[in-house]
A and B are shown apart, each in its own frame.
Chain A
């Protein structure tokens, strides 16, 4: 069944919200985001001594009267940012009740909407196996956004994702011009940490959004089972696992999940990366306005 990730109610929820941009990016000309660059906005930024050829209209004559030196008034520049949203499109994301993929797409759409509403550009990327391909061209404006959402609706989740290989190509990473948001369940051996480091190296503000299903947080299985991994190729795949699930092994699972999340938090904390874990059965409002707000992604 074709997904429908946004509707009018969804849009109305987001009308009063915005992405919280903490870093100073260079950005592109023509946007609405204040940047570190000096430009022609109305917001004062600094003074500097006059040099030959400067525009005399920007000389602060009051200072000249006080110090008998000519100073120029500098103003901040406003630019357009380019946010990049990476969706882990592996098979494990197409799992749970409701499926994690739906929650991931809704979040991606919400973040995209908040971007274009602030006159920023947003790009969606799907991570398949060793590939990172753009779901649609960079989106700017509402029409383009709705077209992109249609593409998101059609996104297929299959096989597994090799984060290291997918982020090896720097072309889609961008440089110092906005947020990079990776949405995944992070239940993988793949080197997603290396991918995050590459994004940081490109001067991007990075957020990790982990989506888990309720069954992954508190497993309800018991007895002797052959766990068939959704990303496995066949029954003999190493990803599959024979296991006797007891009360103690469920407890061990929960401890292992906490351990895994602590490792992610430690990693993110050390690098100033925002990290948020969401359960797929949570309402979108809670995901966006409580959980995402707590980590400073949305204001």
Chain B
């Protein structure tokens, strides 16, 4: 097993797809910061209303989404990396060398996880660093997600919400990576693999947005009926939907993002479950299939 992982790491180090994805990711991070900075800059007028989007906290939060901006580029490039193993035929060398197909698949999966997390961490850290350098971590004591502040109070991101979001994102990327590698192994072709992966991610996200928003009761700050069940099942629930509660701070009432315990835990568990399921399914598909 060690030799398989070592081989995949060596390839990853030398791989062009990985390097390109990393460079694109870092470029997108710079671009995103620049766009946010320009929005802030252009909104500075005398009415007292201004945006505060270009800051560490906001950019950190927005960079965590696996289905927005650069988030979608990660599975796309991971598919290219995985499919290349088949088109170059190098995956068969590993089997010929006496490694079982299951071990080879696990090696492929682990290298996929490393691919995903190295790029994700690099992208997120750069967004966060640039945002913090330019706009500070939490401007005006009211970290924002692009909401207008000044006369109007924005929606606050609490450290607790941010930490929960970070943890959940790690598990979401785990299940997305597992799903992506299974699809790429099944089709061994970039076109259909990317199409199916994107369709599944977008459908889950859009369905989440519609169903969860409709089922959200703002008065009780809870999901009701089918939307509650759907939230527990859908691995992208915490991406599609965030509940907002109101809190009184001094003379102001501020809005605060909230990720409830039940949604936080269920989203971790279902992503772990789906990730393990796709890993097992992919491994068995690979084990039973012939390698050309």
A and B co-occur in one complex: no
**Which A residues contact B (CB, under 8 angstroms)?**
none
**Which B residues contact A (CB, under 8 angstroms)?**
none
